Chains A and B, each alone.
Chain A
Amino acid sequence: EVQLVESGGGLVQPGGSLRLSCAASGFTFSDHYMDWVRQAPGKGLEWVGRTRNKAKGYTTEYAASVKGRFSISIDESKNSLYLQMNSLKAEDTAVYYCARHYDSSGDPRKGGIDVWGQGTMVAVSS
């Protein structure tokens, strides 16, 4: 079964750090682009960042709101994706989803997120 399971969420003070983990199973992890998407309470979806697949060197992209504070990394040996979050702000409070990007054509623009984790809650508050 294709599955993504996030962990690592919790309550953190403003200015603090947190690392989210996402364990993947049931598919060849290194073949896929992987995204982090968040959703603040009662709000819409916000794309946080992406790592391209192994063939593209696991290069990354970030939303402006998190660039310089968040970083995405991969551990192939553990089939895991990570989101390191530093200098956290109250506005980073959200459910964070790990997500697999799918495309059948080889062009990531012609695809979408077909597998989502269950989400992990991050609350930034003093």
Chain B
Amino acid sequence: DIQLTQSPSFLSASVGDRVTITCRASQGISSYVVWYLQKPGKAPKLLIYAASTLQSGVPSRFSGSGSGTEFTLTISSLQPEDFATYYCQQLNSYPLTFGGGTKVEIK
């Protein structure tokens, strides 16, 4: 199975900060990575697929990059509504797997 390791697991930041979250795969997964945002008590929301394609309706401050084993999600200027937990997921092979999550909290 492909393991996804997200770092950091917890991040404290201020509104307006640039934030970067990393997702490392235990083996190469091309660009088959998805990023989600989840707020407490809510279902996750799709942000980015195929490593760098922004889902329709998602603000352009979100961007994704990477291929192979290392991927990043960047928020260029953190907004109040962005405080949440972020997950990566690999779609390269079964079983599909998620990273452990990165919780972004207000500093």
Q: Which residues of B contact A113 (CB under 8 A)?
A: 34, 36, 44, 46
- Greatest chain B CB density within 10 A among A63, A109, A119 is at A109
Q: Which residues of A contact B36 (CB under 8 A)?
A: 45, 112-113
User: What separation, in Å, do the CA atoms of A97 and B98 have in the docked complex?
Assistant: 14
| A44-72 Cβ-contact flags toward B at 8 Å (1 or 0) | 11110010000000000111100000000
Contact (Cβ within 8 A) B95 A63: yes
Q: Which residues of A contact B97 (CB under 8 A)?
A: 47
**How many chain A residues touch the partner (CB < 8 A)?**
24
Contact (Cβ within 8 A) B98 A64: no
Interface residues of B in 55-107 (CB under 8 A from A): 55, 85, 87, 89, 91-92, 94-101
Interface residues of A in 78-111 (CB under 8 A from B): 97, 102-103, 108-111
Contact (Cβ within 8 A) B95 A45: no
Contact (Cβ within 8 A) A110 B95: no
User: What separation, in Å, do the CA atoms of A103 and B34 have in the docked complex?
Assistant: 11
User: What separation, in Å, do the CA atoms of A49 and B31 have in the docked complex?
Assistant: 21
At the interface, yes or no: B50 with Cβ under 8 Å from chain A? yes
**How many chain B residues touch the partner (CB < 8 A)?**
29
Contact (Cβ within 8 A) A45 B55: no
Residue of B with least CB distance to A4: B43
Q: Which residues of B contact A112 (CB under 8 A)?
A: 34, 36, 46, 48-49, 55, 89, 91
Contact (Cβ within 8 A) B46 A45: no
Contact (Cβ within 8 A) B101 A108: no
At the interface, yes or no: A9 with Cβ under 8 Å from chain B? no
Residue of B with least CB distance to A114: B46
Contact (Cβ within 8 A) B100 A111: no
Q: Which residues of B contact A46 (CB under 8 A)?
A: 98
Residue of A with least CB distance to B48: A112
Of B45, B55, B95, which contacts A47 at CB under 8 A?
B95
Contact (Cβ within 8 A) B43 A117: yes
Contact (Cβ within 8 A) B96 A97: no
Chain A residues packing against B (C-beta within 8 Å): 35, 44-47, 50, 61-64, 97, 102-103, 108-114, 116-119
